[in-house]
Structure 1
């Protein structure tokens, strides 16, 4: 489309049309086209030309660059649309001559970018500091407008790891140019490098001025379980959890918050390792300085439970002052497994000061000391040999705990229950809740122990009764209660037992007592010995051989033969009968069966 045709499509008033006709005069369309072709020869694609704004519509600006056709540029390519006026001259990039609609393709944005690049590389070099506005977040970093968009990698945004770099959008920041790529026409900048250089300069100044005991301002940048890291501007200092407050704190976050500005005291500074230790509580007076004067031992005071642990409870007495009530100091009589059984958090309690160690910031407290110690006069109330009534409170393998009064128990050991019964567990004769008679045997006041006895309420049968009743060589009947590999236990009467060693079963060797005897069987035995000191009675069946009770021996021998599978023939019975008679004669002559005779009667192999 020619300029003349374009002008015909635009509606002008009559005066303008007459002015255009007078200007064109006798020029024909061919003359005008020829002039335009000659003019176009002076323009090149992808070059920047100067144009004039000849008209502005709702969406576009019409630009005359002196070519036969005008170009159209979208208003979105202008930073400030309200500042565009007809007649303004602007630089644009000629992208192409007339398109299908006869309009020249122009771009102001590209022209601005090229001019910005040219101006920037002329005035800036790598290492220069530039300022710009963050315009958007892209893959791998941010775009910053410093006249042209430049790339700020995410790793170069800050010296610390950031949660979201998009927080910098629309902020004006200073960066350092770290790379200019002329071929690709792009620039990479770094804010981190600039910050590091600034921090390095500040660090030197800080190191030169900082002193132990001086006050410094900082910002909490990180909170951990063991403390908080505080940014002092050039270096980070560690505020340990123990230096945050004189009082109790479980976690630094209870007192500090991220990005909180705080004033701290420099506690230590290691120049070589560049480490700074900070304190917050040191800004106030140490409350432990006069703790010994304020809390003398024996003083009663009031506190609040602030922490409960398995071994005790911590009680806050004053700001920054806490004491420990050990679990052993909570009750004189109750057995407390955990302090939470009688105490709870934030509970107000009365306590007694037991001990103060201000240098270690420790105060020992007691609760039970508020009451009288029931063990103080225990020896007067429960003197040894005193007979008492008590209730079985608990049973263990080694004895029974007998409650004498609320909170006062005594131990009845299993060995002190009976003189004669063989008791392996107290539940054989006692059960919880039973009311029993006991006697006090021993009191250990310091250890808070009372030893009780039950058998001591009766006379020890071993003193006279057993010795008089069970004479050596006397024959008595008993019941087998237990068979072991070394012998047989036989109950003689009312829980009095004797032991018959396996060698005392018979003259013949016996491999096992169970071959000839069984539990519950009644047998006659002879008393071999009575050991009063060790409370033992020795028994024998072998000693009955050659006596009127020898029939029992014969029955045992028959049992042995039956166990070994040997049948009892009439011939062996006659032989046995003959041997018995011979044995009786030998007994009368105070002689025993010969080894040969025993061999003849043994089962054939």
Structure 2
């Protein structure tokens, strides 16, 4: 065929051939036929090259490697250039190396051969990958680099995609740590046309976890101690991976002592032994305990801390009613606010102790069943009430400071922390005291007489009027029943009038003794009004004097001087009277 072409004046590619070179005058006899035979062999070689077709894998030899391209010869009329980026480890290749390439096109835009190593690699392992996908086989791959949404995996020399959600059972905090590592995968998606391969490590881990879970569930029973790994930590405890199944280690079961934060007891990925406290098969809930692996700290507590023992500990909590002190892990005692000081008036425990303070206290009482210990701070010092009678004998006169006023009397501080009470009934022999602030003010320094002491209730009764003699025997001679005396209106009540009889002596005129029908004395009188009244009762035991206006001889004249105000606004008048008091 090639010789025929030559005789026709064209070569195998259709190019013109100069036949004058084959003139027999230029060659010896028979030499032309030898040349034509050699040409025919060359034509056969050309024909064999022309048998190379597009979209197939062929062997090629590396001719040269530049910064950007690798030049490859496949015994075609032109060589092909492959981008260096298609070679995973370009430093491992050298000129002369033989590689498989895929023929994309025999002639590209620039007339050169277009080759692809990436596609050749893909097609070479496609059957293996496709079989793994269809059979669900496990394959190994190496994590190469991070990309958006996941990681590129080297799978049989080609790139596969590992989505972020398929890397592990839980989110990995730092994916850079696993780059370069080799793992087992399953192929979960393939697309030959797009050369798209998606793999998953998670499905393998889930299968392994399910198998492990069944094994773990089979051996779980209440009271059994098993080893687990801390999987997650929350405010209320920690979830422990027991092997395919999780259990909850509640914060209250972490330690016999007080735990404010589970992170103080456990840390992520920590291996630890725990006890199965409860297992609900229906809800698949497992309750775990850590403190149950150690001895209960309350065992033998009475022998360890007998009542009266001094103990040291750390204040761990403060409430309105006291402070909790940790004596040792799992053992706390309450220092009630009433047990903090013999003498100080403590409004809040924080005035005495703070959280974190190391303090000493005395064991007052232990309740083993309720797991409660009562502690005291004040018991570290002698009780000042033990010798209170010697310090403040009954009948003695002492000086004190008015510390506080109440509706029923006044508290007087005799010394730091020791108060006595002056009841309003012990403030005056003759004057009717309704509130202590009528004669005393907070901060006043006064002399008082000790009337009584009750050590059990820690009370001292004081008297102000007892500083003077009782005048009522003498008054009985002055205010004889039937006598008429001058009085001054002090206060007006719904039931009558309190009047001043002189020298701080007060008397009372009942409403019915006014001699006129009124609802309230303000309908007739005002504070400060003076007039005569007749003594109708003198009660020496009750210390009171009762008087009457209607029994007076000048009652008619009195009515003219103090007429009833018919048109008065009673409520307004009473309010004005109360405002003046």
Shared fold, TM over 0.5? yes
Cα separation, 2, equivalents of 1:184 and 1:530: 121
Conserved 8 A contact 1:63-1:72: yes
* Alignment partner, residue 102 of structure 2: 93
Please point out which of 430, 439, 453 is paired with 1:443. Answer: 453
Which has the larger displacement, 476-485 or 411-420? 476-485
Deviations 1:414-437 (A, max 9, x none): 332123334343233223454433
Deviations 1:127-169 (A, max 9, x none): 4333322334444444433334444343333333444555543
Structure 2 residue 551 is the aligned partner of structure 1 residue 555: no
Please point out which of 428, 433, 456 is paired with 1:423. Answer: 433
* Alignment partner, residue 111 of structure 1: 120
Structure 2 residue 336 is the aligned partner of structure 1 residue 326: yes
Cα separation, 1, equivalents of 2:519 and 2:458: 52
Conserved 8 A contact 2:314-2:327: no
Cα separation, 1, equivalents of 2:129 and 2:369: 67
Distance 1:57 1:378, change over 3 A: closer
* Alignment partner, residue 91 of structure 2: 82
* Alignment partner, residue 388 of structure 1: 397
Cα separation, 2, equivalents of 1:182 and 1:176: 17
Cα separation, 2, equivalents of 1:320 and 1:291: 11
Distance 1:37 1:531, change over 3 A: farther
Provide the aligned C-alpha RMSD in A.
4.0
Which has the larger displacement, 451-460 or 217-226? 451-460
Distance 1:166 1:368, change over 3 A: same
Q: Secondary structure at the match of 1:258?
A: coil
Cα separation, 1, equivalents of 2:60 and 2:279: 66
Cα separation, 1, equivalents of 2:137 and 2:542: 105
Distance 1:58 1:191, change over 3 A: closer
Question: How far 1:523 moved relative to its partner?
Answer: 2.8
Cα separation, 2, equivalents of 1:61 and 1:524: 136
Question: How far 1:121 moved relative to its partner?
Answer: 0.7
Structure 2 residue 134 is the aligned partner of structure 1 residue 128: no
Q: How does 1:159-558 map to 2 (within 5 A)?
A: 159-163=169-173, 165=175, 167-181=177-191, 185-300=195-310, 302-310=311-319, 311-315=321-325, 317=327, 321-343=331-353, 349-358=359-368, 361-378=371-388, 385-398=394-407, 399-461=409-471, 463-483=472-492, 487-500=496-509, 507=516, 513-514=521-522, 516-527=524-535, 529-530=537-538, 537-544=545-552, 547-548=553-554, 550-557=556-563
Cα separation, 1, equivalents of 2:188 and 2:290: 41
Cα separation, 1, equivalents of 2:119 and 2:423: 103
Deviations 1:401-450 (A, max 9, x none): 22334432222223321233343432332234544333444433322222
Distance 1:319 1:503, change over 3 A: closer
Distance 1:434 1:57, change over 3 A: closer
Cα separation, 2, equivalents of 1:434 and 1:83: 102
Cα separation, 2, equivalents of 1:451 and 1:415: 11
* Alignment partner, residue 594 of structure 1: none
Cα separation, 1, equivalents of 2:43 and 2:549: 152
Cα separation, 2, equivalents of 1:477 and 1:161: 99
Conserved 8 A contact 2:254-2:291: yes
Corresponding pairs, count: 530
Please point out which of 144, 156, 161 is paired with 2:166. Answer: 156
Which has the larger displacement, 342-351 or 237-246? 342-351
Distance 1:78 1:560, change over 3 A: closer
Which has the larger displacement, 243-252 or 194-203? 243-252
Q: Secondary structure at the match of 2:384?
A: coil
Conserved 8 A contact 1:308-1:339: no
Distance 1:510 1:342, change over 3 A: closer
Deviations 1:557-592 (A, max 9, x none): 4x859989xxxxxxxxxxxxxxxxxxxxxxxxxxxx
In the superposition, the TM-score normalised over structure 1's length comes to 0.74
Question: How far 1:73 moved relative to its partner?
Answer: 0.8
Cα separation, 1, equivalents of 2:368 and 2:555: 86
Gaps of 5+ in 2: 1-12, 14-34, 570-581
Conserved 8 A contact 2:316-2:326: no
Structure 2 residue 58 is the aligned partner of structure 1 residue 52: no
Gaps of 5+ in 1: 5-24, 565-605
Conserved 8 A contact 2:250-2:289: yes
* Alignment partner, residue 155 of structure 2: 146
* Alignment partner, residue 577 of structure 2: none
Question: How far 1:303 moved relative to its partner?
Answer: 1.8
Which has the larger displacement, 200-209 or 70-79? 200-209
Question: How far 1:338 moved relative to its partner?
Answer: 3.9
